[in-house]
Amino acid sequence: MSFITNSEHGGDIYGFEKQYGRKPLDFSVNVNPEGTPEGVQKAAAATVSEASEYPDPEQRDLVNALAEKNQLETWQILPGAGASDIIYRIVFSRRPSRAVVTAPTFSEYERALKAAGSQVSHFLLREEDEFLLNNRIDELLELAEKDPEFPESGRAEMIFLCEPNNPTGRTTDKASLLRLLAACQKKKITLVVDESFLWLLDDPEKHTLLAEGGKYGQLILLRSFTKIFSMPGIRLGYGIFFRKDWRERAELCGPSWAVSTGAQAAGLAALRESEYIERYRQQNTEERAYLKEQLESLEGIPFVSSGQANYLLIRADIRLSEPLAEKGILVRDCSNYHGLDEHWIRVCVRSRQDNQMLIQAVRECLQEGGIRQR
């Protein structure tokens, strides 16, 4: 079996190189194509001399910096080895008997839930709705109340949302999020909102639920350094909690020293990179619009999502992931997402030159698949 269809996530450049004998142009991971900021690289590299010492188990400097940046108390911040680490800590600390996840969405929520023995209910987002949740909050809450697939199960105890969602790139409007949050508070359902892609939005401060958390203890937020700072190999993310006991229990559900000295230094340096973020956000907005327009103009591409982050979800009339790989381009095959099949791919928004190479390769694949272009 091809590594492309057997890979749970994007970014398997190692499997690609083993199968095709060369490195790919990687559109499968939605990280900043500008690369890791120089200051972050230097900060992480400078810690090598401290490798003989254990990291700070409480990550004091990083926690203090994150608390100050987000205007929170230090006890509310729990750093981890990427947002995925915090997902597992949350799930194992709460151990919901049943949880609801939207579909399609990031697979680690379901993976963690199943590892903890939870039943997982899937709320299917629809292409005809542009994969938006906005007008369907009541339906989501009905599924949380009762799932016919699990007739013996009671109300779900946890809901996961990815805002903006992966792989669709769409966000739920703030009013709908607040209505869901209020309902979860009333019904004692833990609402976990993954804001890992938040800083890729054009207006992140208007979308986050951070300011509302003080009134809603059932809320937990997830954040990641991975995407905006292009540092997936460093592994750094954090959770934001609004109940101290929940934060303490989540901390116990993972190993000590989960965050290396290098990762802490990289995180501190990244928090100073405000110009880098703004520069990339402007570039991403322009290139996202360009890439969407060009892909939509191709015969054989009936759907391109109106993504609001730095990736686009695409449906083609033929399977594209393997033909593109033959041409040296790696995209995220979405056939293992609930609600999608082999006709769906996700692509990162990269530089103009890279985006043009992708567009040309997609055009060629469609023509080779028998779809004549205008």
Overall number of domains in the chain? 2
pLDDT band at 9 (very low <50, low <70, confident <90, very high): low
CA-nearest of 367, 345, 354 to 168 is: 345
Q: Please tell me the predicted confidence (pLDDT) of residue 370.
A: 84
Tokens of 25: 């142009």
* 209 and 300 co-located in one domain: no
Segment 321-342 shows an average pLDDT of: 95
Instruction: Enumerate the β-bridge partners of residue 77.
Output: 240
pLDDT band at 373 (very low <50, low <70, confident <90, very high): confident
Q: Please tell me the predicted confidence (pLDDT) of residue 15.
A: 82
* 26 and 86 co-located in one domain: no
Which range of residues forms the domain containing residue 74? Answer: 38-270
Task: Show which of 270, 305, 328 is a domain's final residue.
Answer: 270
13 has a pLDDT exceeding 70 = yes
In the block, tokens 């890279």 appear at: 354
225: Cβ contacts below 8 Å, ≥ 6 apart: 231, 234, 236, 237, 266, 267, 270
> Is residue 45 assigned to a domain?
yes
pLDDT tens string 32-79: 888 999 999 999 999 999 999 999 999 999 999 999 999 999 999 999
* 170 and 317 co-located in one domain: no
* 219 and 112 co-located in one domain: yes
Is the model more confident about 1 or about 109? 109
Is the model more confident about 144 or about 372? 144
Q: How far is residue 248's CA from residue 262's CA, in Å, rounded to a whole number?
A: 24
pLDDT band at 1 (very low <50, low <70, confident <90, very high): very low
CA-nearest of 269, 260, 265, 259 to 80 is: 259
> Is residue 373 assigned to a domain?
no
The amino acid at residue 22 is R
304 has a pLDDT exceeding 60 = yes
18 has a pLDDT exceeding 70 = yes
Task: Show which of 270, 299, 315 is a domain's final residue.
Answer: 270
6 has a pLDDT exceeding 60 = no
> Is residue 374 assigned to a domain?
no
pLDDT band at 372 (very low <50, low <70, confident <90, very high): confident
182 has a pLDDT exceeding 70 = yes
Task: Show which of 246, 270, 294 is a domain's final residue.
Answer: 270
pLDDT band at 17 (very low <50, low <70, confident <90, very high): confident
CATH number at residue 214: 3.40.640.10
51: Cβ contacts below 8 Å, ≥ 6 apart: 261
Contact yes or no for 327/365 (Cβ under 8 A): yes
CA-nearest of 1, 5, 25, 30 to 13 is: 25
Task: List the beta strands (DSSP E) in 71-125.
Answer: 77-80, 98-103, 119-124
Segment 5-23 shows an average pLDDT of: 74
**Burial degree of 253 (CB within 10 A; 0-12, 13-18, 19+):** middle
pLDDT tens string 198-257: 998 988 999 999 999 989 999 999 999 998 999 999 999 999 999 999 999 999 999 999
Tokens of 255: 């190993």
Q: How far is residue 204's CA from residue 198's CA, in Å, rounded to a whole number?
A: 6
* 95 and 167 co-located in one domain: yes
Task: List the beta strands (DSSP E) in the chain.
Answer: 25-26, 77-80, 98-103, 119-124, 158-162, 190-194, 219-224, 237-241, 303-304, 311-315, 329-330, 332-333, 344-348
* 257 and 116 co-located in one domain: yes
Q: Please tell me the predicted confidence (pLDDT) of residue 11.
A: 63
Share of the chain above pLDDT 90, in %: 88
pLDDT band at 10 (very low <50, low <70, confident <90, very high): low
